[in-house]
Amino acid sequence: MNSLLKKIVTTIFISGCITAAHADDVCKMTPGTTTCGSGVVNSLSGNGMVEVNGTAVIGATTINGLLNASDAKFSSLDVNGSVNLMQCTITGSSEIKGSLVASSTKFENKLDVYSEITRFVNSKINGDLHLRHTDSFKQVVYLDNFSEVSGNIIFDDGDGEVIVRGSSKISGKVVGGHAVNK
């Protein structure tokens, strides 16, 4: 019986080491650059350029710099810099302080953006899209190719414009701005 317990503990320990070693293989960090590949990580933070491809982030993601992500899943996003998302899913709330381009991406919760120009291509926001105060003269949101906002689009500065093209739609209201169908 005692030998069976030792074998179980050894197996669990080895499995844990393999899992931990695999987690280290998912993201590589060098000064100014973080690159993550296929796999799962508990959280992600980076400064400078962050490239994510096929990664699932269980906890918070905090980036100061540029985030380029494709085929990734995030529980939340907090980015101070530019963001390019391709075929991503964000399940929690997100805050982007910089330009945002999202293609074939799904935001399952609210999204706060501090930017002059925000672009969605074939993407969906299941909550409100809130355009926060910037020093820009005008804020513009582009909804292209079947993009959809289920909630409201709210412009804090009161001079926003939503360009709706390619069968895109807004289910809620545009507050502090107006929509233009093209």
- Where are the chain's structural domains? 1-78, 93-182
Q: Round to whole Å and give the CA distance between 177 and 163.
A: 11
Q: What token pair was written down for 178?
A: 């107006």
Element (H, E) at 3: helix 2-26
- CA–CA separation, 17 vs 3, rounded Å? 21
Residue 3: per-residue pLDDT: 52
The predicted structure's pLDDT at residue 123 = 98
Spatial CB neighbours of 13, under 8 Å, sequence gap ≥ 6: none
Evaluate if residue 97 carries a pLDDT over 80: yes
CB 48 within 8 A of CB 41: no
Using the CB atoms, write b or e for 151-164: b if 16+ within 10 Å: bbbbbebeebebeb
Q: With a cut of 60, say whether residue 7 has pLDDT above it.
A: no
Is pLDDT at 16 greater than 90 in this prediction?
no
Nearest to 165 by CA among 143, 148, 149: 143
- Number of DSSP helices (H) and strands (E) in the chain, helices first: 1, 24
Render pLDDT for 33-81 as a digit per residue (tens, 0 to 9): 999 999 999 999 999 999 999 999 999 999 999 999 999 999 999 999 9
When pLDDT is averaged across residues 132-156 and rounded to a whole number, the result is 95
Tokens, residue 144: 């292209």
Please give the mean pLDDT across all residues of the chain.
88
- pTM reported for the whole predicted model: 0.84
Which residue did the predictor score with more confidence, 136 or 77? Answer: 77
The H or E element containing residue 10 is helix 2-26
pLDDT at residue 135, as a whole number: 87
